[in-house]
Structure 1
Amino acid sequence: MSQVAQMVHITKELSGRWTIPILVTLEKSGGRFTPLKNTLQIAPSRLSSNLKTMTESGLVQQISPFERNHPLLPEYELTEKGRFMKEAALIISHSESQLGVGFLAAKAWNWPVLMALYHSYHEFNSIRQLLQTATPRILSTRLSELHEGSLVDKILMVDPTPKYTYSLNARTEPTLEMVNRELLGIL
């Protein structure tokens, strides 16, 4: 897998409203369910669902009843992959604060699209091929939202046939350069 594909995969795996907050907060809460729920202000069913998904993807693991502080209360810990993804999550979180446009990772495909644009995938179909599982509709929606959020420039090319190309704007590019450099540093 190429480095570009790896970075797109990492940012895709970090997408979702609760993935980054759970990764960043899990160890601070001692891995316990209730303190994590209270810290994140998340519904128990939502936290349970997210932890199940993160367990299935290998980011966290549930500690056995014999190893827990309290045998009846669930506890979780980051796996090796989870610790790596936590580092990536901290990079993404820091860059989102620099961009100042809110929590981009909350929506699927925002960061993978930005990484594709950073790596010179400027046409819709080339971005779609890189992202593989993104539907045309979701890709179109994310490109429009990123354009409306002043992160991406949308340019109409008329020769030889009319089409749009996309690129990071001057304000976004330095932040994505930093993200790319730091993600490469932890790969």
Structure 2
Amino acid sequence: MKRCGWVPVENDLYRDYHDQEWGKPLHDDQALFELLCLESYQSGLSWLTVLKKRTAFRQVFHSYQIDRVADFSEEEMAAALENPAIIRHRLKLEATVNNAKAIQRLQAEVGSFSDYIWSFVDHKPLVNQVSTYLDRPSQTELSQKIAKDLKKRGFKFLGPTTIYSFLQAAGLINDHEDSCAFK
């Protein structure tokens, strides 16, 4: 079965992520929040590192239940910073809590994070023609616009490159290669 060229097929974690999750449209706030956080953790690291630590991150951050993460205590943060099973980058972990609070504000304002984020693509995935993953941009005007708006709303650690990766992962942008069986 043909997959996108960035997928090392011998790696089950990568392959399963590509086949079962990447690019599939998500509309659940909690699932979107988790992906947003995972993409922010990747900054400066490999995606495989993040995938390997995903289960531990879910345990630390209460399965990314937005209200639970927003109420994350100082004691929980101290424990997280000592936990070798996750990426112990203080700014990234603090951004997770901050961004949960920012999502709560968005939910109060517009109803859901899903409605907010999907409004940028008129609630329909953008399907790009991609002959090879090497042709995909790292950011676009859309990801720049969203990153700027999120920053204005108090979100942290989410630049236009991270946002573009998030849009791909959450299915708002379909960047599967044209020959990929999962397009």
Same fold (TM over 0.5): no
More strand by share: 1
Larger CA Rg, structure 1 vs 2: 1
Q: TM-score, normalised by structure 2?
A: 0.30
Using CA pairs under 8 Å that are at least 6 residues apart, name the structure with larger relative contact order, 1 or 2.
Answer: 2
Q: TM-score, normalised by structure 1?
A: 0.29
